[in-house]
């Protein structure tokens, strides 16, 4: 049975890797609008040219975020990681530094999250899937006075994230622990005016879970709202969810990057979709 389960997991991993490679290649071949060239919408031109692809002088933020990540990489604490989300496996012992090496948000996309937060200027930010708090740190550095609520499903990982975020001096971040479906309403109610202005979704990478999160967030959105979905090409299910989100009639503008998808709710705009080479 163990051998059969192992073989099944390896097969699933190979299929996901092949799907992701194929989708990223398709994105590269069909993506346009690098640095905003060819974009007619002033709003999208601003986001692409000045937030995504422009040259950014954010050395202070980058150094602070790298310091946070380096402390995680020095943390040899061992924790038990249970099976949660899209990948089913036996609980296992892992060091914090190993989790940071394998799952932490990259500097490229962390800095993008920071720039999006700085540009959107939300009063509150919601994150689904804290992990060790690297992406949380990027957004908190960009918006030190914005209330940030982040949800992590594994208690031991949530405790590690709390400790490191506290030691780094982030006073505007609250880490909730629990199943996202059970805690999402509580988290949204704790946001300013109980409305979602910006959310980063990097949690259960299944179609059903992703669509549940999307519908719950969309139902409680502010007039001006940005939902950022990570790993949109990670699996066939994630790509299917992203395609459905881009087709949703309430989502006016979507920007597709090689890894992330940005879904903007904006009143009074025509529907637009852009695949951006980055």
Residue 256 backbone phi and psi in degrees, to 5: -105, 125
Can you read off the two tokens belonging to residue 146? 């914005």
Going from the first residue of the chain to its last (278 residues), give the mean pLDDT of each consecutive group of 10, the final group possibly shorter.
62 87 91 77 92 90 96 93 63 88 92 97 97 97 97 95 97 96 97 98 96 98 97 96 97 96 90 92
- Report the phi/psi class of residue 131: left, alpha or beta, with left for phi > 0 and alpha for psi in -120 to 50: left
pTM: 0.93
Rg of the Cα atoms in the chain: 18
């Amino acid at each position: 049975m163990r051998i059969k389960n192992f073989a099944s997991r390896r097969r699933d991993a190979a299929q996901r890797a092949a799907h992701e490679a194929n989708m990223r290649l398709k994105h590269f071949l069909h993506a346009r609008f690098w640095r905003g060239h060819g974009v007619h919408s002033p709003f999208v031109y601003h986001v692409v040219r000045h937030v995504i692809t422009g040259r950014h002088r954010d050395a202070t933020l980058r150094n602070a975020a790298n310091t946070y990540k380096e402390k995680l990489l020095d943390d040899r604490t061992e924790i038990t990681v249970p099976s949660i989300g899209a990948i089913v496996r036996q609980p296992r012992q892992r060091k914090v530094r190993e989790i940071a090496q394998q799952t932490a948000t990259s500097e490229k996309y962390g800095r993008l999250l920071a720039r999006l937060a700085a540009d959107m200027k939300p009063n509150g930010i919601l994150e689904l899937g804290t992990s060790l708090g690297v992406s949380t740190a990027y957004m908190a550095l960009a918006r030190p006075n914005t209330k940030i609520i982040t949800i992590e499903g594994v208690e031991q990982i949530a405790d590690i994230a709390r400790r490191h975020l506290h030691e780094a001096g982030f006073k505007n971040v609250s880490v909730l622990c629990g199943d996202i479906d059970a805690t999402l309403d509580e988290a949204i109610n704790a946001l300013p005016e109980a409305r979602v202005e910006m959310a980063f979704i990097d949690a259960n990478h299944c179609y059903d879970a992703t669509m549940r999160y999307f519908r719950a967030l969309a139902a409680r959105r502010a007039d001006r709202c940005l939902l950022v979905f990570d790993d949109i090409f990670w699996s066939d299910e994630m790509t299917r969810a992203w395609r459905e989100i881009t087709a949703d009639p309430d989502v006016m503008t979507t920007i597709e990057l090689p890894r992330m998808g940005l879904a903007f709710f904006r009143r009074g705009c025509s529907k637009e979709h852009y695949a951006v080479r980055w």
